[in-house]
Amino acid sequence: MVALTDLEIARAARPLRITELARQRLCIDEDALVPYGHDKAKLALPFATSLAARPAGRLVLVTAITPTPPGEGKTTTTIGLADALQRLGERVAVALRQPSMGPVFGRKGGATGGGHAQLLPMDDINLHFTGDFHAVAAAHNLLAAAIDNHLHHGNALGIDPRRIVFERVLDVNDRALRRIVIGLGGLAHGVPREAGFDIVVASEVMAVLCLAQSLPDLRARLARMVVAQGLDGSAVTVAQLKLQGAMTVLLKDALAPNLVQTLEGTPAFVHGGPFANIAHGCNSVMATRAALGVADLVLTEAGFGADLGAEKFLDIKCRSAGLWPAAAVVVATVRALAWQGGDERAPRSTPDLAALRRGLPNLQRHVQIVREVYGLPCVVALNAFADDHDSERALLQDWGRAEGVAVVEARHWAEGGAGAIALAQAMLRMLPPAGAPAAAPRFVYDSSDALWTKLEKVATRVYRAAGIRAPHAVRAQLEAWQRAGHGALAVCIAKTPYSFGTDASQRGAPEGHVIDFHEVRLAAGAGFVVALAGDVTTMPGLPRVPAAERIDLGDDGEIVGLA
């Protein structure tokens, strides 16, 4: 029997009309929706904003071990777990990011789950969806054009063309545009200067959209964005260019959360898409708050492992929005842990228990981050694959008992919500009783810490590094921002997601390494300072064989090859 593709499974589903889903599952009236066809809608912005005043449900964070080529299935597990909770009678919703079209057409493919644990409509969500990313790109590029226009018309603000830090964006992987020269062709075509492109999900405008809690907050954050330095060394902001109003106009509809559903009709808020290795990697605050206002349990996901994704979710998003999860789920797979220990076979016909034991410290480290650094109760979701072996499952169960953490196998990819019932029950058992006082947030650093100290605390407490280093120019820049009043900002470390250090080839759970920062960027509107380590880039490139080569329209006009 030939296995169905993700797209074929999605096409066979019979979803509820989005207005019926909202009414039946969330008690949202049709007047509170702005439908985009029959299968997706935005919440009307006034209604979405009003939900923040309602009693909030309980939030559960889904994170994972360090990403590997075999994959972990964090999004799939989030969706399958939510479907299982709905089967158990819980009023549940998920809050997830929208995939970027760069990875969709590049190496990764789609990011709406897989198998029988997917979001619908999967093709729309992976592509243009409700146009939010296009709105971010338009607002961002309007500002970029205004900067060069200001130079062309006399440069009244005294912008130093060599110190413009605001690039252009597009939602496609294109390494050739990382560094470019613009303004060539003579006087009529502007001021020649070096420039470049980032991918849309690396834009500070995207981060601002995802952290804003209202239209006035969005406008104020846009106004604070620093885009360049003046010839006198002063910061040049969006407010000085008088662009925050026009940018807010372009983003006003994009600020409203999007509502869709899973294959089993569980409500899903899919909104925003900042990358987790170069931004804060979480869906929007607006969507999370909306979900908490209409559901008793909300599952949300942070990109990559607990070291990058959970750290930024907790230290940036939760701190900024006044949120805190009641518990966490750490997703792992046997094959990924075996890969961490040196077993790269795929599929694996026989177990390699020695490799699995060598890879287990990686899982242990992520569990320690969640439980010991942030004080959250957690359960390990063992995302099942067909080539898992009984002896490997037994080894992981023994490890869990020794560590005092539940390790629960889940088969949601093959069986949908029914395959994650045991995981859902284990998660419910570890939640504090409904109505119990919320746990006090436990952040890695204090807002009052110096920026350098914040970076040092993340590196040593979360990555288990021995320390951090940076050139004198980077240290001086951080100190200058400190003096300029930006010292209370959070820090957002941009590095490889494939290791606890900056060397992507390191496996397991290295410690005692040093994190070298080579560049820092001020994201004053988003509310953090980005510190770049290693060879991370803000504009990915396409692989030798991009996923775009298999995507097409069939004879019936339906999309094929999207996975």
Residues 344-367 have pLDDT tens digits of: 987 888 999 999 999 999 999 999
Residue 42 annotated in active site: no
Is residue 313 domain-shared with residue 368, that is, in the same domain? yes
Q: How many CA atoms lie within 13 A of 44 on its CB side?
A: 11
Q: Is residue 425 part of a domain?
A: yes
* pLDDT attached to residue 275: 84
Q: Is residue 258 part of a domain?
A: yes
* pLDDT attached to residue 327: 96
Among candidate residues 430, 461, 489, the one where a domain is terminated: 430
How would you classify the pairing of strands 113-114 and 117-120? antiparallel
pLDDT tens, residue by residue, 86-135? 999 999 999 999 999 888 888 777 789 999 999 999 999 999 999 999 99
Is residue 190 domain-shared with residue 302, that is, in the same domain? no
Among candidate residues 191, 212, 247, the one where a domain is terminated: 247
Q: Is residue 70 part of a domain?
A: yes
Tokens coding 310? 């959970």
Exactly one of 276, 279, 302, 306 is catalytic; name it: 276
pLDDT tens, residue by residue, 316-354? 999 999 999 999 999 999 999 999 999 998 788 899 999
Is residue 219 domain-shared with residue 313, that is, in the same domain? no
Is residue 90 domain-shared with residue 195, that is, in the same domain? no
Residue 108 annotated in active site: yes
- Measured in degrees and rounded to the nearest 5, phi and psi for residue 409 equal -75, 140
Exactly one of 19, 63, 66, 76 is catalytic; name it: 76
Beta strands in 101-204 (DSSP E): 113-114, 117-120, 159-164, 168-170, 180-182, 193-195, 197-199
Q: Which of the pair, 8 or 423, is modelled with greater confidence?
A: 423
Is residue 417 domain-shared with residue 287, that is, in the same domain? yes
Provide the CATH number for the domain around residue 377: 3.40.50.300
For residue 2, what pLDDT band results from cuts at 50, 70 and 90?
Answer: low
3-state secondary structure of 408: strand
Cα(115)–Cα(75) distance, rounded to whole angstroms? 12
* pLDDT attached to residue 50: 95
CB-based contacts of 296, cutoff 8 Å, min separation 6: 57, 58, 90, 91, 92, 434
The mean of the pLDDT values for the chain is 94
| Element housing 411 (H / E) | none
* pLDDT attached to residue 231: 95
Provide the CATH number for the domain around residue 178: 3.30.1510.10
What average pLDDT does range 47-76 have in this prediction? Answer: 92
Is residue 419 domain-shared with residue 298, that is, in the same domain? yes
What average pLDDT does range 195-219 have in this prediction? Answer: 96
What average pLDDT does range 255-270 have in this prediction? Answer: 98
Cα(415)–Cα(117) distance, rounded to whole angstroms? 8
Q: Is residue 561 part of a domain?
A: no
Q: Which residues pair with 77 in a beta bridge?
A: none
pLDDT tens, residue by residue, 362-409? 999 999 999 999 999 999 999 999 889 999 999 999 999 999 999 999
Number of domains in the chain: 3
Nearest to residue 362, comparing CAs of 378, 338, 345? 338
Is residue 299 domain-shared with residue 412, that is, in the same domain? yes
Outline where 88-152 has alpha helix (H): 101-105, 122-126, 132-152
When computed from its CA atoms, the radius of gyration of the chain, rounded to whole angstroms, is 23
Q: Is residue 544 part of a domain?
A: no
What average pLDDT does range 443-454 have in this prediction? Answer: 98
Q: Cβ–Cβ contacts within 10 Å for residue 440, how many?
A: 7
The pLDDT > 90 percentage for the chain reads 84
pLDDT at 559 over 90: no
CB-based contacts of 152, cutoff 8 Å, min separation 6: 190, 191
Is residue 370 domain-shared with residue 500, that is, in the same domain? no
How would you classify the pairing of strands 528-533 and 467-469? unpaired
CB 113 within 8 A of CB 4: no
Exactly one of 25, 42, 97, 454 is catalytic; name it: 97
pLDDT at 49 over 70: yes
Nearest to residue 287, comparing CAs of 263, 267, 307? 267
Residue 174, amino acid: D
Provide the CATH number for the domain around residue 515: 3.10.410.10
Residue 105 annotated in active site: no
Is residue 340 domain-shared with residue 280, that is, in the same domain? yes
Residue 47 annotated in active site: no
For residue 1, what pLDDT band results from cuts at 50, 70 and 90?
Answer: very low
CB 136 within 8 A of CB 209: yes
How would you classify the pairing of strands 258-262 and 267-270? antiparallel
* pLDDT attached to residue 296: 95
* pLDDT attached to residue 547: 87
Domain carrying residue 218: 134-247
Q: Which of the pair, 414 or 110, is modelled with greater confidence?
A: 414
For residue 225, what pLDDT band results from cuts at 50, 70 and 90?
Answer: very high
Q: Which of the pair, 78 or 2, is modelled with greater confidence?
A: 78
Query: CA-CA-CA-CA torsion for 26, 17, 98, 27, nearest 10 degrees?
Result: -10
Is residue 169 domain-shared with residue 220, that is, in the same domain? yes
Is residue 202 domain-shared with residue 261, that is, in the same domain? no
Is residue 51 domain-shared with residue 92, that is, in the same domain? yes
Residue 78 annotated in active site: no
CB-based contacts of 188, cutoff 8 Å, min separation 6: none
Exactly one of 11, 87, 108, 252 is catalytic; name it: 108
Q: Cβ–Cβ contacts within 10 Å for residue 543, how many?
A: 11
* pLDDT attached to residue 486: 97
pLDDT tens, residue by residue, 460-498? 999 999 999 999 999 999 999 999 999 999 999 999 999
- Measured in degrees and rounded to the nearest 5, phi and psi for residue 126 equal -75, -15
pLDDT tens, residue by residue, 491-526? 999 999 999 999 999 999 999 999 999 999 999 999
pLDDT tens, residue by residue, 134-164? 999 999 999 999 999 999 999 999 999 999 9
Residue 385 annotated in active site: yes
pLDDT tens, residue by residue, 287-313? 999 999 999 999 999 988 999 999 999
Q: Is residue 426 part of a domain?
A: yes
* pLDDT attached to residue 288: 97
Q: Cβ–Cβ contacts within 10 Å for residue 429, how many?
A: 10
Nearest to residue 356, comparing CAs of 370, 342, 372, 375? 342
Tokens coding 486? 């930006």
Q: Is residue 553 part of a domain?
A: no
Q: Widest CA span of the chain, in angstroms?
A: 72
Exactly one of 269, 324, 385, 517 is catalytic; name it: 385
pLDDT at 3 over 80: no
Most confident of 4-13, 135-144, 437-446: 135-144
Residue 77, amino acid: T
Q: Is residue 442 part of a domain?
A: no
CB 273 within 8 A of CB 205: no
